[in-house]
Every structure is written in C-alpha cells, then in structure tokens.
Structure 1
C-alpha cells in the first residue's frame, strides 16, 4: 500500500531572492592613542623565539644496597623412574631395566643415538683430556674489586657548624656511636653550643641523645667496656666526667677543678682493670692522670711526660711534652703510648719504679703533632702513627726510624686507624675530604682505594669492631658511615704469615741500617793519629777526587776481566 502526502504553499511564502552589493566599513568607535605609552613602545625586529619539541628528562643516581648472587649446580646421577618402582631397591630397578632392554623401541633409540655419540667420542680422542697444557705459564691472579660506599650521614644542624673532635662506637657491636663536637677560638673559648650527640647510624635523621656539661665543651669520649651504659668524657676545662645516657644529658659525676688538668683534657682511654671502670687522660699540660669512675674526687695515679736522662734526675713540668694522642692495648695492661705535640712518640710502663723506668722508649716520629696512634690488632709490636703529611708504621725494636711509611701527600693526613679484621689494611683521612685505604700486602707506594667522601676536611676516623664499617667525622659536623667491600673487610688464610714475614724483614733491614749508622758516627768521633779527626784531614774536593779515581780503577778492572 502506497503512503502519499501532498501539501501546497504559495510562491510568495518561499522567501525573497537575496541581492548582494559592495558597502564600505562602518566605524563603531575610535580610541585615541596614549602618547606616554607610545613613547615607551619599542619595535623588536627580528623576533627570536626558541621552542623545544622533544620531552625533557632528568637523571638521578642513588646508592642502593648491593645484592650478591651465586651460581650453584647439582649433580644429577639418578635418572627418572616410574612411581611404582622403588629406587632404593636394587632388585626392583634391575628387573625394570631388563624389561626395558627387551623392548624393540629401546633398541631403535640406541641405534639412532649411537652415530652422534660416536662423533663426540672421536672429538675427545683428538685431545688428551688428562694432560695439563700451558703449565709453564704463571697463573693470573683473581680480579678483586675494592669499593667503599656511604651508607648513612649523621648531619649536625648547629650554626655555626662545629667540627667532629672524636668518635667512639658502642662496645656491644651495634650501630650506635657517640661523637664530640667543638668550635673554639684561638683563646679556647667556645663559639657555638657545647653539647655532644649520641647517634644510631641506622636512623640518622635525629640524634638519640644530647649530652653536655654546663658551659664546657667535650673534647673526647669513650664507652666503658664492661659497663656499656656508662660514658666517660674529657672536657675543655681539663676536667673529666661520667655520663649515663639512661639518666639524661647531664653528667652523673665530674671531677673537682683542683685535681683536673692544668690545660684542656684532649684524650681519654679506658684501661684493663678488675672493675672495668678505670681510665686515663692527658692533654697539652704534659701529665697523664689515671681515674676511677666510682670516685673522681682523687686520681689513682699521675705521671709527667718528661723523659729524664738518669734514674736520680727529677721530672719537671716546665719541660714536659704536651700530649696529642694516646694509645692503650688491653692485652698489655701495664704499657701505654703517648703521641706528643712535638712529633715524638713516648712509650710508658706503669710497672716502673722511677720516672726513668716509667718512660723507657722514645721515637722521633713526625715534624708536627702526632694526630693518631694505634697498635696493630694482630701484631702488638707494630703501631701506626699519623702526622704532618705521612703515615708511618713502627716497630718497638727499631727506635730510630719507621719500618714502613707512606709517600708525602699533597694534603696532610689528619687521622688513621687499623682494620680490626684485615690486619694489613689501614685507613687514612686527609684534609681534602678523601678516605684512602692502604693494604700493605698489595702495594706500599699508593693506596689500593681512594674515595672522595666530602669537599670539607675529614678530621677523625673510627673503625667498627666488625671491620666492615668506618665512621669519618668532618669539619662541618657531618659523620660519614662508610661500608667497605668484602675483600677489604676479610683476611685471607695466608695474610697473617705474609704480614709477619714482611714486618720481620723490614725490622731486620732497619736494625742493620741503625747499626751501620752507629758505626759511622763512632768513626767520626774517634780522633786520628795527628790529633785531628779523620773527617777534618781531607777536604771535600780531595774526597771527590779520591772517590772518582777509585771508581775509574774499579771500572778498568771489571773491563779487563771480561
């Protein structure tokens, strides 16, 4: 069925025809220009506009925890068996093996695999598998990658920044440490707050505790080995005190001023005793004082660091040497060592009855103050000293010269320490913020590793008892906790024997040189037959001519023997 619809409309309703014509613009409004603004307008021609079509990226590096991977293999000696076969029963496995060997598919598989197997067997016969080839070539040493990384930074926010004077780790082997900070002028007056801080290196955002004595800066700190909750400190005023961090930031006890040091107490160390609460301190006044934490109202012993020439000669405070470093080893309870501001190292013995016996050894170590002094943990006769621009390793048997020393550095060394686990490794910090690791068994002319920890000077270093961590204090109050790689923290099985041989060889060489120098000095003192010394009989020009003639005669003799 069709659907249609019709409609009608008049022609007049369709609309008119549009007629277009040209017509000029019509002005709507006119705004006159501002002459003041017009004078300030400057036409820029040409116009340069930079565009960047590529996306922008930024690069950031982080120090992540190193992951260690190992490759291990398994020796698969037994093949796969069905579930109904007991592998541990020899009769069951033999019975199943005979059943498979009778199968036709097994024979076809063996015949198909035999050509390939024969090919590889003939290849193995071309080379003797049991012969050692290239045995005359030296074995290449394994490649060791030494590295250190900063795991945490303990930042001190006091303004103006204070230098890290000393660092000590908690004796329980954890991650806590105590640090003393000072900022004093030439007159030894504090110019900044005098409190010291206790840190947890696993969360260095905030210190655990702040300890201080009223208006007195702390110069050195040490934990009691048998009472880890007790902390002893040496103060700028010359006094010593004891803190208990559990009781707060105030000192538990301070020694009276009349028995304190005459100058500041610069260094403090605990000694081996039955109670484990005795320590000794020293400073620029040239006196070592022994204390007991249970009674700081009096000193238990006192010794002036003045070396006398005879047992009857009295000591004098006016000629005493100011102490800049102390050293004590618990396995040698009666002996200690003092590094002085004059560059000397003086060995002490508390068992001596006179001052002459109490200070028996003297070493002319450095040109300036001795900043660090520490015995090797495995070789107690050898000790490390740091001063001026060198670090030296000494032996108690050789007092005139060190047995090992580093080349003079461009920036002076400020502190050093031995590794407690790797006996041949010593760590040194420099005034330019560089940490250097010296391994005496690998090389002695330059360090095995140098790391720029910070732009400011590094002033102190203390090793953790595990040997993997080291805390380095800077001039701006930052403590950098550094982790060392495995080859720098662990010792090899032959290292101790090699280090023993090296120390003995170098000590023997120095003893031979010392005896030769003594002989030369003795010959110079002996007068000649005419009454004048043998050195004064010949002039330098005559000596040079005689040596030249002797050298020429020796050369002619050697040429004649050829």
Structure 2
C-alpha cells in the first residue's frame, strides 16, 4: 500500500534566498597560444558563439504555465461604443453600462473569466515576476528642451479683398482638414467685391481650398459635428444658422428663416450631444440663446434671453460674444458678454429665469473667449480687456482665482491645451501668441511668439495639442508646431495642477470672507459714529415735530371724511 501526502506552500516562503556580492575578477586558467597548431585550422569569419553558464532545463518546478496568445484585429468605432451612444456624454455611457450589466450573457462571461483571472493572480502571488531589484539605479529623466515653436504652414485668403479669419475648426478625424470662417467684422464695411465664401483647407495642399462653403451672408463661426464628421454648422453675420454636408458640395443643406433667427451676428454655434447628433445651439449679441435641430430649422426648439435681472426681457439682455460647451457637463454652458460678464447657464432648469444660474463679473471689456478646462470642468478660462482669468464655479461671489498680468495690447482670444491641464494660449492684438504654463510660471508666459504684424483674432489647437492654428485680421491662418515639453503630460502634473487650483480657490474664498467682515465692521463703526454725534435736544425736537405733523395730517383726514 502506497502512502502519499501532499502539501502546498507559497514558493516565496521557502528556499534559500540569493545573496549577490561584488568580487574582483580572477583568472583561473591561462592557456598560452601555440603558433605551430595554426596550420591545422581554417579561420572562420564571422564567429557567433553563445555560452550559458546556467544549466539548460526542459522542465523545472518554478516554470509557470504557458499562455496561448492570439493576435486579433478590432474595428474601433468611436472608441468601441455603439453608434447610438455618444462616448462624451456621461449620462448615455452610464445608462448603456447599466443595460449591459443586467444582461445574462455579460454575467456568465464575467463568472467564466473570473476563475481564469483568479488563477493568474494566484500564480503572480507565488512568484512576483514584476519585482524591481534595481529601482534606485534607474536613469534620471533628461533635461527638457526649452519652449519653442515653428511655423509649418500658412493658409491665405484666396480673395483679393482681405477678410478676417474669425473662427477655426479642426476635422475630428486625425485633424487633416481645417475649416476657416472668413468675415469682415467692421461695421458697414463699404469695400466692394467682398466675398461671402468660407473654406475647408487640406493641410497637404495649403495653396488651394479643398472645399468652398458658399452662402448669401458671411459666416462668423464654423464647427464640425463630432458625431457626424460630414456635417458642418455655421453662424452667419445676418443672424441665420446654416449647415452643410461636405459629401454634397459647398452649397448649404438648409438655412434658418431670417424672421426667426438672431437679429445680430452669431458669435457662437456649437453641436450638442444627442442620440441623433442633429441638435445644436447658438448665441448672438442680440441677447438670445437659441436651440435648433438641423432636421427642422424652420423654427428654434427653445429660447433663452440673457437677462441677468431674471425678468426675461429682451431689452435688458446682455449681448453674447463668446460661447462654450463641454461634453463633461452636458446640461451647462458658459456665455461671455459684451458688457464683461460671464453667465453660467443651466439648460435643465424649469423656467427661463432659473436657467441663468450664476453671473461672474471681473472684466471691464468684452469677454472674447470663455472655455472650460478639459481636465477640471468646474474651472474655466476667460479672455477679455487686457487680461486672461481663471475662475472656479465653487466661488460664486468672489473674483477669479488666478489671472495674468495686464498687457499693453488687447487680448482677443484664448483656449486651453487639450493635453496639459495647466497650459493655455492667448492671442493679442499686436499679433503675438502667448503660451502660459501656470504650474511653472504665473507672472510671465512660458513662450511668447510674434506670429504676424496683424491682430490675432482666433485660436484653435489640434486634439494632440501639438499644432495650433492662428487666424489674423487679414485672413491669414498660420499653423504652428510647439515643442514637445508644451504638449507632453509630465508625471503627477494633473494632481499638482488640481492642488494648485484648489489652493487658489480656498485663498480667494478666505480673502472674500475677510473683505466682507471688514465691510460689516466699517458699517458698524460708521453707524456708531453717527449715533455719538447726534445731539439729544435735536433728536427730541425732531421727534416732537414728527409727532405733531402726524396729528395734524390725521385731523385733516377726519375733517375731509366728515364733510
């Protein structure tokens, strides 16, 4: 009868550990060459010889099970999500996850894969194949190159009468095309033969537009549809909203009726996340925000008057000159006004006055640009007058948490870097592009580049943050490629930037509370001072006069009643 006993134990719990030590080299055998034997050999060149000091074993007790690996291709459509789910809309993605998790097939797959994953984890616990023995000897990162930028292309307005490049929009697919809106923003421009066309440029052919967008009124803003790349939305100088299908040429598919459109130029038109991908909204200096569906542009689906007194009166509305919407906050949007205020709106509110959630005041001129941070949705950037300011939605009654120095030239546009949380760009009226990195420099820009002698009016970086398009007043679009340090995310940069914004928000809140306390104290001191200066006799005479005047008026009223 054979008696057998098995026991298990973690491999890392037994066995003699390896002890490595440094020893000097030692010559054990020295065989001098024999020239007489060279005639019996033929030289071989090249010679490839491998020597393994350890024994070669086919099977050993420390060997883990081999994993069968297969390579398969996957066609990713919008990151692997179904076509009816917009990956940028958190509500739609969470709803789709809940539907999948309730599916029986998903539950069975998780239970089946869970056992395999548990087996692999137990193997890894037995022998830590990822243990680092020489972490302290890792080479330190090399010094980064200084901030710089170079021009890689120039797109010029092909028309003889120059117009302003008012807005830029990169194609969502690999950013190989750039849509540029051309419009003269000068009031009652009397120049003849001004073209109303805007263009789509192919970066591979910067000398001729890829497609001409034709319309009866100049286009102030253009925006690609992130869900359907062939649809292009435009806001016109006469207040109309128009959209094109680039597969069908440069003629517009549909235009809103003039009597139901905006009354002033449309400075902002943005696509909204929806199941159909056809909804959008626009803002104009006439003080209105209108919601549209390109399937039915005969009338707006919703309307909001930017009346901060919340009386819903168009005569009291503030003119919108910039508009921003972030997919991370699908119900909120920001509006920059001509009067220097920034309005934070909530579309889900029940009544129009309630849709105006908060108003931020800080600029003394028009807010030409407003943009939420792509990393921290409650932090947003505004550009106006001579400064650029960073705000936090949590500080409703205070001023901006951070701001740049006051420049001599006017600031006309600004935007965040899509890859670095503390980097943003500003365009100035002297043709200079400033690149700010608030994590390292808060008083001066990290890079200041003279792009043109004409004012820069529009900025738009690519999704990778490496190439920036800059539009000038004369219609020239300059494409700049910035250095790697300004478009590469460093280690712990997100956490450091978040800590910086939180610290500045707390500091601003403390200063605001201290200011309120000083104001209350000053009011109390002024009131006490007035009470001390009052003469008791004068107070008595005043009270006596008031008393008899009341009696006299009461007698007169009773006499009139009896008569």
1:382 matched to 2:379? The reply is yes
Change beyond 3 A, Cα 1:225–1:85: closer
Rounded Cα–Cα distance in structure 2 between residues aligned with 1:438 and 1:471: 16
1:198 matched to 2:200? The reply is yes
Query: Unpaired segments of 5 or more residues in structure 2?
Result: 1-43, 57-135, 535-563
State whether residues 526 and 533 of structure 1, in contact with CA within 8 Å, keep that contact through their aligned partners in structure 2: no
Rounded Cα–Cα distance in structure 2 between residues aligned with 1:269 and 1:140: 42
Rounded Cα–Cα distance in structure 1 between residues aligned with 2:156 and 2:187: 25
What does residue 113 of structure 1 align with?
Answer: none
Q: 2:342 aligns with which of 340, 345, 362?
A: 345
Deviation of the 1:90 alpha carbon: 7.0
Rounded Cα–Cα distance in structure 1 between residues aligned with 2:262 and 2:162: 27
State whether residues 525 and 533 of structure 1, in contact with CA within 8 Å, keep that contact through their aligned partners in structure 2: no
What does residue 282 of structure 1 align with?
Answer: 283
Change beyond 3 A, Cα 1:161–1:531: same
After superposition, residues 71-220 of structure 1 pair within 5 angstroms as: 87-88=51-52, 142-187=143-188, 192-214=194-216, 216-220=217-221
Rounded Cα–Cα distance in structure 1 between residues aligned with 2:48 and 2:461: 62
Q: 1:447 aligns with which of 440, 445, 448?
A: 445
Rounded Cα–Cα distance in structure 1 between residues aligned with 2:372 and 2:206: 31
What does residue 434 of structure 2 align with?
Answer: 436
Q: 2:367 aligns with which of 370, 376, 394?
A: 370
What secondary structure sits across from 1:307 in the alignment? coil
Q: 1:471 aligns with which of 460, 469, 472?
A: 469
Q: Normalised by the size of structure 1, how large is the TM-score?
A: 0.69
Change beyond 3 A, Cα 1:493–1:185: closer
Deviation of the 1:494 alpha carbon: 1.1
State whether residues 280 and 291 of structure 1, in contact with CA within 8 Å, keep that contact through their aligned partners in structure 2: yes
Q: Deviations over 1:185-229 (max 9, x none)?
A: 423677511100110122201110111212x11111111111100
Rounded Cα–Cα distance in structure 2 between residues aligned with 1:277 and 1:470: 28
State whether residues 164 and 185 of structure 2, in contact with CA within 8 Å, keep that contact through their aligned partners in structure 1: no
Q: Normalised by the size of structure 2, how large is the TM-score?
A: 0.68
Change beyond 3 A, Cα 1:82–1:280: closer
Rounded Cα–Cα distance in structure 1 between residues aligned with 2:389 and 2:50: 71
Deviation of the 1:456 alpha carbon: 1.4
Change beyond 3 A, Cα 1:522–1:258: same
Change beyond 3 A, Cα 1:531–1:456: closer
Query: Unpaired segments of 5 or more residues in structure 1?
Result: 1-79, 93-131, 133-138, 538-562
State whether residues 183 and 190 of structure 1, in contact with CA within 8 Å, keep that contact through their aligned partners in structure 2: no
Deviation of the 1:261 alpha carbon: 0.8
What secondary structure sits across from 1:499 in the alignment? helix
Rounded Cα–Cα distance in structure 1 between residues aligned with 2:143 and 2:157: 42
Change beyond 3 A, Cα 1:362–1:91: closer
Q: 1:459 aligns with which of 457, 460, 477?
A: 457
What does residue 318 of structure 2 align with?
Answer: 321
State whether residues 471 and 480 of structure 1, in contact with CA within 8 Å, keep that contact through their aligned partners in structure 2: yes
Change beyond 3 A, Cα 1:315–1:153: same
Rounded Cα–Cα distance in structure 2 between residues aligned with 1:245 and 1:335: 30
Rounded Cα–Cα distance in structure 2 between residues aligned with 1:253 and 1:236: 16
CA RMSD of aligned residues (A): 2.6
Rounded Cα–Cα distance in structure 1 between residues aligned with 2:529 and 2:490: 61
Rounded Cα–Cα distance in structure 1 between residues aligned with 2:501 and 2:141: 26
Q: Deviations over 1:459-492 (max 9, x none)?
A: 1100110111110001111100111111100111
Change beyond 3 A, Cα 1:190–1:177: farther
State whether residues 238 and 265 of structure 2, in contact with CA within 8 Å, keep that contact through their aligned partners in structure 1: yes
Deviation of the 1:275 alpha carbon: 1.4
State whether residues 324 and 370 of structure 1, in contact with CA within 8 Å, keep that contact through their aligned partners in structure 2: yes
Rounded Cα–Cα distance in structure 2 between residues aligned with 1:84 and 1:168: 58
Change beyond 3 A, Cα 1:530–1:405: closer
Rounded Cα–Cα distance in structure 2 between residues aligned with 1:327 and 1:448: 25
State whether residues 201 and 481 of structure 1, in contact with CA within 8 Å, keep that contact through their aligned partners in structure 2: no
Rounded Cα–Cα distance in structure 2 between residues aligned with 1:291 and 1:189: 33
Deviation of the 1:152 alpha carbon: 0.4
Change beyond 3 A, Cα 1:472–1:84: closer
- Structure with higher Rg: it is 1
1:357 matched to 2:354? The reply is yes
Q: 1:521 aligns with which of 501, 519, 528?
A: 519
Rounded Cα–Cα distance in structure 1 between residues aligned with 2:331 and 2:488: 31
What secondary structure sits across from 2:424 in the alignment? strand
What secondary structure sits across from 1:503 in the alignment? helix
Deviation of the 1:354 alpha carbon: 2.2
Rounded Cα–Cα distance in structure 1 between residues aligned with 2:459 and 2:507: 31
Rounded Cα–Cα distance in structure 1 between residues aligned with 2:181 and 2:46: 72
Rounded Cα–Cα distance in structure 1 between residues aligned with 2:401 and 2:504: 6
Change beyond 3 A, Cα 1:491–1:293: same
Rounded Cα–Cα distance in structure 1 between residues aligned with 2:355 and 2:364: 25
After superposition, residues 305-316 of structure 1 pair within 5 angstroms as: 305-308=306-309, 314-316=311-313
| Aligned residue pairs, count | 407
Deviation of the 1:81 alpha carbon: 11
Deviation of the 1:334 alpha carbon: 0.7
